[in-house]
Amino acid sequence: MSKGISYSLEDLAGKIGATFSGEGALHLTGVAPLDSAREGDLTFLTNPRYAKFAERTRASAILCEKAIPKVAKSFLLTSNPYAALAKVIPLFFPPKTPIPGIRKGAWVDTTASVHPQACVADGATVAAGARVGARSVLYPGVYVGEDAVVGEDCLLYPNVALRENCILGDRVILQPGAVVGSDGFGFAPEGEEYRKIPQVGNVVIEDDVELGANTCVDRAVLGTTRIGKGTKLDNLIQVGHNVVIGHHTVVAALSGISGSTQVGNHVVMGGQVGLAGHLRIGDYVTLATRTGVMEDIPEKGVYWGSPSSEMSVEMKNVAAYRQLPELLKRVRNLEKSLEKLQGLQGKEPDGK
């Protein structure tokens, strides 16, 4: 946080499109979590389960949806506190802007094009024919391959690899270790061996996409693997060759999407979701954590389980599964009772 930053509660409300309750002239000098905030800080309540901590926070004001009864604080009020927090944080923690230019320790091919307002750090590489747009930043260890394109206002953090012919739109963020354009997993069986299928397509990542650390997006065999505008992928995700992901889709960590699958717009995937290849996932589908998808899901809805089914159906299946131990016990008791009854029926009237 930069020293000397201060906003009144009223000014802060105006900057993020919120309202306030309490002392409008109250000056706030920072933002911090409920349990560690101090006097002068703005804290936030984005999940109702933490409301109990608001009663004892030392913060001077609380960002939340509604004023909290019995809490003697000023409030910054908005219908979407989480989105408002995303606007507040940069006000108190202004992003650092690297000085434009190509550092002496960088290697840029003479046929590459780097905008004068871009920054190429020590240890970064820009190969032949590649282009880097205005205000984009390449941190140490970044590799931009031959004829690759980096749009404007992109951030490529350390050790990112953007391989040949792959294209990034504007405002794309690649977290450390992300790989765009690695070879797809294509091997044709030939006798008892496997022959590698050349992966000669590319990857296109559209505007405002973010890829998490060590996430990999494979290049197409032929054609293009595409990540649509505004989509966000978490850490450690695998996107196979020729996959197409639509706009504003979010995918949590450790998920995998097999080759040639098409994922729609506004899809939500929890952690460890797995999609088989050549599937079609429709718009506004939600896949809960650890869902395994083996068939197309064309209809909007919430799905869970492996193989996947509608959430309501899978919850009934889980409830039934949890009753199995008791049901097995009852069946064994019934079998014992039946054996005794059959034994009695098999005896002669005199007991012999």
Q: Which residues contact 150 (CB under 8 A, 6 or more apart)?
A: 130, 131, 132, 133, 136, 138, 144, 156, 162, 168, 172
Query: What six digits make up the tokens of 157?
Result: 């953090």
For 49, 60, 168, 197, the CA distances from 194, given in Å and listed in that order, are 53, 65, 32, 9
C-beta separation of 123 from 141 below 8 A: yes
Q: Which of 241, 247, 266, 278 is catalytic?
A: 241
Q: Write the DSSP assignment of 293-325 as a string of letters.
A: E-S-B-S-EEEETTTTEEHHHHHHHHHHHHTHH
CA distance 311 to 37: 39
Residue 67 identity: A
Residue 241 among the catalytic residues: yes
C-beta separation of 9 from 62 below 8 A: no
Least Cα distance to 290 among 277, 276, 308 occurs for 308
* CB-facing half-sphere around the CA of 217: CA atoms within 13 A: 35
CA distance 155 to 351: 91
C-beta separation of 191 from 229 below 8 A: no
For 108, 128, 129, 137, 314, the CA distances from 111, given in Å and listed in that order, are 8, 5, 5, 19, 57
State the CB neighbour count (10 A cutoff) for residue 178: 24
For residue 136, give the 3-state DSSP assignment. coil
Q: Give the residue numbers annotated as catalytic, written as ranges.
A: 241
